[in-house]
Structure 1
Amino acid sequence: MIANSGANYQALVASLLEEAKAGYNPSNIEIKIADTWKGFYILDKGSKFGIVKDDNITDASGNELTVVHAAENYAVAQSLLGKVDRDRKFFKYSTGSAAGQFNKPRVLTMHEGWRDPILRGISYVFDSQVPKESAFTLLPVNEHFTRLLHCVAQDTYAGKYETTNQRAMPNYLIKFSATKPRFYTISEEGKFSQHIYEQSVVGELLDRQGRVLFSAVGTDRIEDENVAGMVFAVKDRLEILLKNATVQLAKQFSNAIKFSRFELPVTGIDGKVIEIKDKSMDLRIGKDVVIYRNIGSIKGIATDVVVPLWQAAVVDVQNDTVKLNLIMKLTDEEISVSTDDLVIMDAVSAAGAANQSNTSIKYCTHERSQRGPLAIDDFEVVSRAYGYLSPYTLYNQDEDFTKKIRDAAKFGGFRDTLELNKTDTAGRCLLPVYRASRGEKGTDQTIINCDENGFCTDTIEIAVGYRLYINNERKGGSASKTKVTVKDCKRDVCAPVMQSELSKINRDLLKANIVQIIFKQGE
């Protein structure tokens, strides 16, 4: 077997290379200028051929166009260095396997930037487990690989980095957190011995304002029988435990998240203030959008062509009526907005999420979640798993994460920096809370009833929910309670067994109560 290891290795590498070759079919796409309009170049190919917004395409003389809008059958581009002859032919390398991925909304993830081996491991596994059929494409930031690219570029192009700093910054981010692994042994002398491992991983999909668009928890439990001392090493089992929980999390993201494209008509104009109808119900104050105009049909293109006119920012939201302020013209001359124009945007939808109120809240930091004498060891992490179900617009304004993702993005090969807008929630915040207690008065942490053989029964009353605050004053929320009983456990393992049961109940109560939270007057 050892003698054949070299041949087996070569066969494995050869098989891997063949598989990679089959999935990588680069082609040089020829792109022509179908027409021009107000400084824009209308291209005869679009996302169907792998051309997407922020692409740079070049001709044989080195002239470059930047794509500012891409539809299925055409694209709209600009030249940053003067006019380009419309008879020129432009080119872009593309692969059939990747073309569809580039046309999806992109989500930024970081690897080394976590500065934590657990979170770093989660990010690697998560990235590998999200299938290409998902509604989004992951754009990972790998500092080590980026440094290697810079070295290659420096050696090859005498210090020029054009090839390594061309990516557009994504509009979405993923934040991970993980519970500490729970490990304990259940045994009865002469009968059995079992090692138990449990861990949860939470992921949150955020936009660049920190808004929680989706969140989920992946959980795994491993039960190992100890047969005559023959068991897996704890370290190895903990690695598998974390991987399994992350795989489950990735499946939830892939299955639940959908992106929809909306066309929102302009309904009113008052100088630089534009009013639109938001059918997506997704726009929030501070979000940037682009206003487009339909310029009709162009020879060689199967559909009508729309071009970008203005960049604008949301300044007011009242139900489905949204007001925008014009920020910057995108054409070479200033063109007035009309009621024939529209906003085109992608919006995230997730299974189980209802339309959210425009009222904004963030997670509270002024108080602890624990209210009673007993602690639930994974509550701080798992309580963030259901934020997207809130009836209010929830923001995760984690300063530590913001700093890490901004620093990591510097190594992402992006041509612009990551700017995270901070939404003012006017003092409104959400605090996940729980109270766990044992005994009639809810204060005794030690009473566990055990028989003469050392087998115990433990009962804990638990209340779980959320509190809403305005300027640190409690103004509502929702909570519910129940009792949890564990029977026939040895005294030395009753605590972790109870924690395991509390975790299950905790997740159910959190999910049930997040949809019920409401601000109350006078509380």
Structure 2
Amino acid sequence: MFVSAWANANIQIYPLKGIFGLEQGCRTDPSNYEENGSSIVCDFSQAIDNEIIRKQAETLFLQGLKQGFGDQVVDNISQKTKNRTYIASLEVLRASEYVVKKDSTTEIFLPVTLSLKLTNVLSGEVIYSDSATLSQPIQVLTTDIDSPATKAAIKQKFQSTLLTLTNQLTKQLKSKFKVSEIETQVIDRWKSYLVLDKGFKQGITVQDELSSIDGDLIRVVHADSDYAVAIPILMQGRTKRFSKLSTNTRQAMNKPKVLVVDVLTYQGESEDLIEQIFSDAVGEQASFTLTPVNRRYSAMAQSISEQTALAQSEDINQRELPEFFIRINVIPVIDYQQQIGKITQQQVLHSEVFAEMIDRSGRVIYSAHATDDIKEVISEGMGFSLEARKEVVLKNALLKLGQQFQKGIQFTRSDLKVLSSSGHNITIDDAGERLSTGMKVHVYHSDKAAGRNILIPTWEATVLERQGARVTAQLDFPVNSSDRLPVRSGDRILLDSSAPVGDSKQSRVLCPSLHTEQVGEIPFDGFGPLIYHAFASQSKRPFYATGSGFKGQALLKDSVIAMTENAGFKKNMKVNFFVPKDECLQPVLKVEVKQDSITCNADKSNCDATLVMASGARIFNQKSEKIGAYGLQQEIELEGIDHQYRNEMYNIQMFEALPKILNQIVQTADSSQ
């Protein structure tokens, strides 16, 4: 049964005191950035480090929730109500300062983005998230920029912005939040597994946690079209009726789940905001479902245990990791403002973003790259600041990136047979090459229950190696710890995949101990991500994300572990990705201006030049010995370069030229094997 009314859904909302997002420090200099730096300026943190303002925000938050939901807003959480209680929290995603000088006056823009989330108190899953941005500028005399009066005006504006956004988001929650309650019942038991009468067509999906009115909790481990199989998490008796709350559409139910585990930034961008823009662009039409999580769940759980009678217990941090992961890499936006007339200027901005989808073995199954440009002529003292336009060009690039993921990935369900079992190893028939070394899979046993054929997931296993069409996997642990069932010939492996994986012995990876080598007089941030994307997207050989990262980027394993520690997933999970050993790649770039190639007009505002680029990758074996290299050298003729902005212009030209060159290198590398 689907129930759409809030009152009938019988859920509770607990408003969490405090404002999240400020715990990782702030940016002292609004114009100074570093990789993975704070998206919040210290002027904002100091402005709301004020008991009166925080109390006002808490009061607005509570009043707005109670106006919308009445007595469903509670001031405590107990063991009996925890399964149906959702945490309402406020989180600052970013707070910035942009200074635009206009002769004798200066405008200071102060954009703030605030988010309201509803989070499952037990799992950390976010069932609702909304954000709003407000930028209220102040105008001061240029000579007064650093005066106490200006500092006070900035403080007051940040405070009023926080209160305005709190009021706006809370009032919109009632109309925007659409929730349904899905009820199901136990129709049979198979050993210690529970068989439910609804499946993904009715809204029940894998990893759902269902609760009863008595506080019992079960987790779905397999969902077919019209039935599901669950295991007990907390069972006091033999309850038969369970339910879940859902904001998903039914079309999202039978899709692989994907988790964004890392967002790499360099200019103080909000990671949460980037993920939100990307997720919105992916949308509901994609062949996968993004798993929404609260990255600050651990801090929230601690705060909840301090504010309520609910102690942290064995029923939290129990979520399993999904089948796939996504990493996003945001290259610093290139921007400059060039004088082109007596009172006119041209603003030029260029954004490059990358993302990849990775399976549980660490193999990249999809890689995408998107760009966006803004070129706009403005009159002096008019138009938006470069900082404001940066946000626009980055958002446009992220929207394109998300749309590529929506259209570019198609999953198919594979049903493979277990040929034999010996000890902790099993042999699987995989003529279609869907399994890759290191991949995590589930073993299913077929049997009858409730008068129908059902599949029971019995073991999680890791793929060890391939010999032709036969794959060996190691049994890791039983899906249900109460049952250690033997694996038999004829048991099945079900998995979602996008394409044949190829031979893992031919796999490539960036060398774990060698970072990109780059020489020359022109700084360029994009080469590592560009060549990585070229090999991941264009090569016929498998490419793994388990090697070295880019500047400031955590290793894949560390990113996933961080999610298990902070976002409600099982703690102490063994995260073991496959790292190819036979050979690895070190990206190498040398770029310089060809000697005597520069010719300019008198004021150097219009120059011609020739760039010489040598790009490629060195190959190393497992002994760290260089055994070869792939590469090309190419000259790029440039015209109309303004000497003052030459590095920015060179960078844009290299971003345009390198993808074709690198694709040629990948083709050469594949053909040379």
CA distance in 2, matches of 1:425, 1:384: 15
Change (3 A) 1:164 1:224: farther
Q: Deviations over 1:39-90 (max 9, x none)?
A: 33322211222222333334454444432222121112234678965xx522
Written as runs of structure 1 = structure 2, the 5 A alignment for 1:18-57 is 19-21=175-177, 24-33=178-187, 35-57=188-210
Q: Is the 8 A contact 1:196 1:224 kept in 2?
A: yes
CA distance in 1, matches of 2:658, 2:361: 29
Matched, 1:391 2:552: no
Change (3 A) 1:195 1:55: closer
Q: Deviations over 1:170-224 (max 9, x none)?
A: 2332222222222223444459531211121222222344322222222121112
CA distance in 2, matches of 1:38, 1:505: 61
Q: CA deviation at 1:236?
A: 0.9
1:320 to 451, 464, 469: 469
CA distance in 2, matches of 1:418, 1:459: 53
Q: Is the 8 A contact 2:337 2:345 kept in 1?
A: yes
Matched, 1:381 2:529: yes
Matched, 1:309 2:458: yes
Q: Which runs of 5+ in 1 are unaligned?
A: 1-7
Q: CA deviation at 1:510?
A: 2.2
2:503 to 351, 357, 370: 357
What secondary structure sits across from 1:237 in the alignment?
Answer: helix
Q: CA deviation at 1:38?
A: 3.3
**Which residue does the alignment assign to 1:456?**
607
Matched, 1:347 2:502: no
CA distance in 1, matches of 2:211, 2:293: 26
Q: Is the 8 A contact 1:476 1:518 kept in 2?
A: no
CA distance in 2, matches of 1:310, 1:492: 63
What secondary structure sits across from 1:117 in the alignment?
Answer: coil
Q: CA deviation at 1:476?
A: 4.2
CA distance in 1, matches of 2:221, 2:528: 42
TM-score (ref. length: structure 1):
0.82
Written as runs of structure 1 = structure 2, the 5 A alignment for 1:96-107 is 97-107=248-258
**Which of 1 and 2 has higher RCO (CA within 8 Å, sep 6+)?**
1
Percent of aligned pairs sharing the same letter: 24
Written as runs of structure 1 = structure 2, the 5 A alignment for 1:248-327 is 248-296=400-448, 298-299=450-451, 301=452, 304-327=453-476
CA distance in 1, matches of 2:575, 2:545: 12
Change (3 A) 1:238 1:213: same
The letter of the residue matching 2:489 is T
Q: Is the 8 A contact 2:443 2:460 kept in 1?
A: yes
Q: Deviations over 1:83-108 (max 9, x none)?
A: 965xx522112336345435432222
**Which residue does the alignment assign to 1:91?**
242
Q: Is the 8 A contact 1:202 1:384 kept in 2?
A: no
Q: CA deviation at 1:323?
A: 0.9
**Which residue does the alignment assign to 2:46?**
none
**Which residue does the alignment assign to 1:226?**
378
**Which residue does the alignment assign to 1:407?**
562
Q: CA deviation at 1:505?
A: 0.7
Shifted more, 248-257 versus 158-167: the winner is 158-167
CA distance in 1, matches of 2:534, 2:231: 42
CA distance in 2, matches of 1:17, 1:174: 29
Change (3 A) 1:212 1:515: farther
Change (3 A) 1:265 1:438: same
CA distance in 1, matches of 2:529, 2:494: 36
Q: Deviations over 1:475-499 (max 9, x none)?
A: 3454344331112334334443232
1:76 to 197, 211, 229: 229
CA distance in 2, matches of 1:10, 1:426: 52
What secondary structure sits across from 1:400 in the alignment?
Answer: coil
Q: Is the 8 A contact 1:259 1:346 kept in 2?
A: yes
Matched, 1:487 2:639: yes
Change (3 A) 1:125 1:418: farther
**Which residue does the alignment assign to 1:337?**
487
**Which residue does the alignment assign to 1:3?**
none
Shifted more, 340-349 versus 53-62: the winner is 53-62
Q: CA deviation at 1:363?
A: 0.8
Q: Deviations over 1:375-407 (max 9, x none)?
A: 544223333333422333322234724435533
Shifted more, 265-274 versus 157-166: the winner is 157-166
Change (3 A) 1:419 1:246: farther
Q: Is the 8 A contact 1:146 1:412 kept in 2?
A: yes
Shifted more, 312-321 versus 144-153: the winner is 144-153
Over the residues paired in the alignment, what is the CA RMSD in angstroms? Answer: 3.7
CA distance in 1, matches of 2:233, 2:389: 55
1:194 to 340, 346, 366: 346
Q: Deviations over 1:231-255 (max 9, x none)?
A: 3212211222222222222222222
Matched, 1:466 2:614: no
Change (3 A) 1:166 1:288: closer
Change (3 A) 1:252 1:328: same
What secondary structure sits across from 2:554 in the alignment?
Answer: helix
Equivalent residue pairs, number = 497
**Which residue does the alignment assign to 2:133?**
none
TM-score (ref. length: structure 2):
0.65
Q: CA deviation at 1:29?
A: 0.6
Q: Which runs of 5+ in 2 are unaligned?
A: 1-163
Q: Is the 8 A contact 1:262 1:279 kept in 2?
A: no
